[in-house]
Amino acid sequence: MSVEASERLIELVRSNEDISNHSSPCGEAMISAAEGALGVKFPPSYRRLIEEFGTWDIAGEEFLGVYRTPACGTKLLGSVSVTLDMRRDHGMPPELIVVMFDGMGGAVVLDSSRPDGSGEYPVLVWAHVDQPPEKLGEDFGSFALALCARSLHCGGEKHPIDYAIVVARDLLGARGSRPEPPTVDEVMTAIRAFESVEFDVPDGSDVAVIPTVFSSSIAK
C-alpha cells in the first residue's frame, strides 16, 4: 500500500494547490546522483514522490525531497544536503535518510538498514546520537499520506477515530471508487497511520470492530 499511498498523496497535493507547493519533477539521473551521494537507495514510496515533485509541502507539512537551485548550481539539496550535514555535524548513523523535521528538534528519517519485502524503510524520529530513535510508521508513503491528510482536514487538532473516516477517504479511496472493499490489512495499516499522527481512540471503543466500520463506511 506504500506506493499507492504516495499516489494518493500526489492527488492530494494537486487537488489543493491553494495550500500546497512543489518544485519540478526529479529525473532518474538526479535521483541516482542523490542515492550515490548518500550511499543508500531511496525506498519506492519516497522515490515516487521525488519523481513527481522534487520537494513539496501541503497544509504546513514540509518534505525535503531532492532538488537543485540556480544559486547552488549542481549541489543536491533537500534530503541529500541535510542528511550529509546531520551525519557530519551530529553523528547521525549513515543508514538514515532525513525526509523532514518534526518541529520539536528531531529529524524524521528513513532507516535503510531495515527494509521490508517491498524495499520500504521504517519511519523514525532521530534527535541525538545518544537518544534511541522513536518509530513513527512502517513506510514513508503511508506515514506521509496520513500526516498530510490529518493536517489538511483537522487543522493540526486531535480528533476521535470516528472523525478519521473523512481522512480515510484519502487513505483508502472514496466510496465506490474501488471495485473491492479495502482489505483488513489495508484498513489496519490506515489505523496504524492514524495512531502515528496522534488520532485519539475514545475510551471504551472496541478497536476490534474498527476494520469493519472502516470497510462498511468507505468502500461499500
Q: What are phi and psi of 209, to 5 degrees?
A: -95, -5
Q: How confident is the model at residue 129 (pLDDT cuts 50, 70, 90)?
A: confident
Which of 99, 96, 160 has its CA nearest to residue 128? 96
pLDDT tens profile 4-39: 889 989 988 998 888 899 999 999 999 999 999 999
* Per-residue confidence (pLDDT) for residue 4, from 0 to 100: 87
More confident of the two residues 122 and 180: 122
* Per-residue confidence (pLDDT) for residue 159, from 0 to 100: 47
Taking the C-alpha atoms of residue 200 and residue 95, their distance in angstroms, rounded to an integer, is: 32
* In the predicted structure, residue 168 carries a pLDDT above the cut 70: no
CA dihedral 126, 114, 1, 29 (to 10 degrees): 80
More confident of the two residues 209 and 133: 133
Taking the C-alpha atoms of residue 159 and residue 201, their distance in angstroms, rounded to an integer, is: 9
State how far the alpha carbon of 164 is from the alpha carbons of 65, 69, 146, 149, 152, in Å: 27, 38, 10, 10, 12
Give the mean pLDDT of the chain: 81
* In the predicted structure, residue 94 carries a pLDDT above the cut 60: yes
* Per-residue confidence (pLDDT) for residue 150, from 0 to 100: 74
Helix (H, G, I), strand (E, B) or coil at 62: strand
CB contact burial 196-219 (16+ within 10 A = b; e otherwise)? bbebebeeeeeeeebbebbbeebb
Q: How confident is the model at residue 152 (pLDDT cuts 50, 70, 90)?
A: confident
Q: How confident is the model at residue 99 (pLDDT cuts 50, 70, 90)?
A: very high
Taking the C-alpha atoms of residue 172 and residue 217, their distance in angstroms, rounded to an integer, is: 11
Q: How confident is the model at residue 156 (pLDDT cuts 50, 70, 90)?
A: very low
Q: Which residue in this structure is represented by grid cell 528531531?
A: 106
Global pTM reads 0.73
pLDDT tens profile 27-77: 999 999 999 999 999 999 999 999 999 999 998 899 999 999 999 999 999
| Identity of residue 160 | P
* In the predicted structure, residue 194 carries a pLDDT above the cut 90: no
Q: Which residue in this structure is represented by grid cell 466500520?
A: 213
Which of 141, 71, 57 has its CA nearest to residue 103? 57
**Burial of residue 192, with CB atoms counted within 10 A of its CB: 0-12 exposed, 13-18 middle, 19 or more buried:** middle
The DSSP bridge pattern shows strands 107-111 and 134-137 to be unpaired
